[in-house]
């Protein structure tokens, strides 16, 4: 099992594609507009593995996190 939590979505997708593992991605967004939201930088905040498919939840970096894309 590959752990992709806290990795950028780009890196997570690359790892899963190289391992030829199916996955789905759900992107979460805040209910209010926040000016610091960086749309081009997503990272994985949750993963579940069910029936041979990884189900990932990703969120946009908002400037406070130390995650680099």
Taking only the tens place, the pLDDT of each residue in 1-57 is: 899 999 999 999 999 999 999 999 999 877 776 655 555 688 999 999 999 999 999
Q: Do the domain assignments include residue 14? A: yes
Q: List all residues 6 or more positions away from 45 whose beta carbon is below 8 Å from its beta carbon.
A: 5, 6, 28, 57, 58, 59
Q: Do the domain assignments include residue 67? A: no
Q: Do the domain assignments include residue 65? A: no
Q: Do the domain assignments include residue 19? A: yes
Q: Could you give the CA distance from residue 13 to residue 62 in angstroms, rounded to a whole number? A: 20
Looking at residue 48, its pLDDT comes to: 98
Q: Do the domain assignments include residue 2? A: no
Q: Do the domain assignments include residue 22? A: yes
- Domain holding 50, by residue range, is 7-30+38-60
Counting the structural domains of the chain, the total is 1
Q: Do the domain assignments include residue 66? A: no
Assigned token pair, 35: 């000016």
Q: Do the domain assignments include residue 69? A: no
């Amino acid at each position: 099992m590959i752990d992709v939590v806290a990795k950028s979505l780009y890196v997570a997708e690359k790892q899963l594609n190289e391992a030829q593992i199916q996955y789905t991605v759900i992107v979460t967004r805040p209910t209010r507009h926040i000016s610091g939201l960086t749309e081009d930088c997503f990272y994985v905040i949750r993963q579940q593995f069910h029936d041979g498919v990884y189900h990932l939840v990703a969120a946009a970096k908002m400037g406070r996190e130390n995650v680099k894309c």
